[in-house]
Structure 1
């Protein structure tokens, strides 16, 4: 049998020191708190048993002794002078069980516990020595380091160390989780999927929600901050997007949910979503389009994206594309429905909507046309990120052939092998952006 870990040995010592020190006994502590409040105010010296009761009455009773500063100071002063370690152990248990950043007297109680842990030693003393548990600026960070090193959630590590009174909802475990997320947010490690796994296991429920709702900003930072300007594989981006969108929704559809997220991180997600929407269209149409020239169209739009011209992207699918997109990209993937209006929409039809420069592009799959409005503010130009589109509102010219004015272009996808339509669309994009696409940028290889 392998030797017990240091934490396991420490847990055994805590058990041997007496479990009653870790759990509040069943008493009328509200009544006890009222009597102790009067005794401390009257200057009565409390016996050890009363000091243990006073420790349980600091934060969770009515009245709570810590709400009255002179009473709190009186209790702590008598705890320091006690001739037994038992009141100290009870104070430690009460403090860790009740811990929150808002608890009154938090810093004074922590300072007292740090002093007494040096005086009395024992399991709590060892815990403070190992993790500086009662140094509230350092303790949560050291425990966060232990979480990463041992690959276990903070409550599990604390339980192994004998803190059976603490659970995942403890305020101290929350402080450790905040420190952990902050540590992961500044990590320079490139194993992003391991980081994602740790975030999900340490800070999220099995249902994909934060364990602590008010740590949602820390959670988003830990998910996104390490990416910075690094180029990330599509599969990794999609894995992180799935979690982020589950937490906050799509920023294109629910911008209010993202108000607290720093602008650089919002912009990062917007870029990822733009690429994902483009990929949704290209990958799904790859599967449903009966078009021998489709490879040329895919090469063209990938070239436009790689040139940095696409600011935003959105997709509208007919019934076939909708079913396939849900299957391929999951139930959280966002896109619009394409609905018949004026003429029949085939089940496999899809439309790629792009914001490029000051204009909007609506490129239809199959035998549909590429429609370009040079001015997105024009009344007839479609708006991105709607939930559904009628077929007529995302096309310029319904008749046969091409249609062109100074502000609109409706171009058939003809003669792809000679790059005829591509050069025509590229010229219109140049007029809109000032960036010229060369044929090598979109040549099919």
Structure 2
């Protein structure tokens, strides 16, 4: 007989006034009875089985329950707010008994579920203070040290302490507070993690890097494992709205977010869910500024990726060093809105294995013909009202108005080389060769159209 079937049978018996034979236990009771007295864990019972158990004990005189049943009731009744009278009665009965194991179960229910929105949470918070203080045991000192029984102060205090060192010290703080590796999914721990994220979001400089690294380390231990919590995304990005982290930290954060959630330019539905979650957390006002940080980093990484890959495959390193210096100056100034790489077949093959960031950078492909060889690559750049196609080999750089229907579109998987190497276009189209003194001429045209000066060449010249 399954655990669910055992629970349903017990519920039907209670409805008909039957009592089970002396010494017989339901499967639920056996699972509860097997738990250590002072654990915060609950038996692995699904919602249906839990509902059957609560239905059976509702309306009974709670003092008639077995101790194991009472312990289970005190822990599990907080999983939803459908049994408010039963929750209140369970607290009153459990506190009146004065039993250490019942008090442990009250603490377990509070920390496991931390049901701040539950109608009876105020009663639970008051009860847990009594339960923790009236025994000479570790919970008395833990509660005082970490303010565990103060719903507003506790998560902020323990969450802040988790940020004071590295991942190992953060986990030690949790252990000091009574949470072992098997109880890090407790709702109170999740509240501490959220509080830590909110505090880390306000950090600056080296402290922001250290705290961000700590949160990344805790992510799969304490944070949600299947998807990144939106508040963690916020914590990792907000400190860098008007500052720049080290290259190593920027890379670590970018790889994490793009790998786990997606490219913010391409995987928009996933990032829309992050925005919605931040809105629910009351962080919507600053969400866009924070998420814009990642987009800026992805664009920067795409541009640097392109120039690094071509540098490893070019036959003219001096020429490529000039182009790299010119375009990356715009990148470092934050003047490039977007960049999308496109490789010819041979160029794409060469690019594989040349970088460890291929998981974060996507690209398109260039069809052969139309003046482009299979070894050629192009990067399609957006700057203000300009759409630009810069090439890896000799030839002109093309400049379109972004509104020109002939301008290449970002994020395509396949590009026609003839269009990228066009010699004509709509109004405002230009093709400028990389002949002598090309940098000032490029800068002049870009400034004339966008108003953006080059960090070195300014408004350019002839």
TM range (shorter): 0.7 to 0.9
Q: Which residue of 2 aligns with 1:289?
A: 314
- Secondary structure of the structure 2 residue equivalent to 1:355: strand
For structure 2, which runs of at least 5 residues remain unmatched after alignment? Answer: 1-34, 276-286
Deviation of residue 235 (structure 1)?
Answer: 3.5
After TM superposition, the score normalised by the length of structure 1 is 0.78
Q: Which residue of 2 aligns with 1:39?
A: 60
Distance 2:69 2:103 in 1: 11
Distance 1:193 1:408 in 2: 44
Q: Does 1:80 align with 2:95?
A: yes
Q: Does 1:134 align with 2:149?
A: yes
User: 1:3-402 to 2 correspondence within 5 Å?
Assistant: 19-22=36-39, 36-40=57-61, 46=63, 50=66, 53-58=69-74, 60=76, 67-99=82-114, 105-149=120-164, 151=166, 152=168, 157-159=173-175, 162-163=178-179, 167-204=183-220, 210-211=224-225, 213=227, 216-259=229-272, 260-261=274-275, 262-291=287-316, 292-305=318-331, 309-322=335-348, 323-324=350-351, 326-343=353-370, 345-373=372-400, 375-397=401-423
Moved more, 121-130 or 237-246: 121-130
RMSD over aligned Cα, in angstroms?
A: 3.7
Distance 2:450 2:127 in 1: 66
Distance 2:402 2:43 in 1: 69
Distance 1:79 1:284 in 2: 68
For structure 1, which runs of at least 5 residues remain unmatched after alignment? Answer: 1-17, 398-402
Alpha carbons of structure 1 residues 285 and 130: separation in structure 2 relative to 1, 3 Å = same
Distance 2:144 2:335 in 1: 57
Deviation of residue 236 (structure 1)?
Answer: 2.9
After TM superposition, the score normalised by the length of structure 2 is 0.75
The answer on whether the counterparts of 2:163 and 2:211 sit within 8 Å (CA) in structure 1 is no
Give CA deviations for 1:119-161 in whole Å, capped at 9, x if unaligned: 3342222221122222222222222233234644767654555
Alpha carbons of structure 1 residues 189 and 130: separation in structure 2 relative to 1, 3 Å = farther
- Secondary structure of the structure 2 residue equivalent to 1:232: coil
The answer on whether the counterparts of 1:65 and 1:71 sit within 8 Å (CA) in structure 2 is no
Q: Which residue of 2 aligns with 1:14?
A: none
- Secondary structure of the structure 2 residue equivalent to 1:314: strand
The answer on whether the counterparts of 2:107 and 2:131 sit within 8 Å (CA) in structure 1 is no
Alpha carbons of structure 1 residues 382 and 212: separation in structure 2 relative to 1, 3 Å = closer
Alpha carbons of structure 1 residues 368 and 347: separation in structure 2 relative to 1, 3 Å = same
- Secondary structure of the structure 2 residue equivalent to 1:354: strand
How many residues in Structure 1 have an aligned counterpart in Structure 2? 407
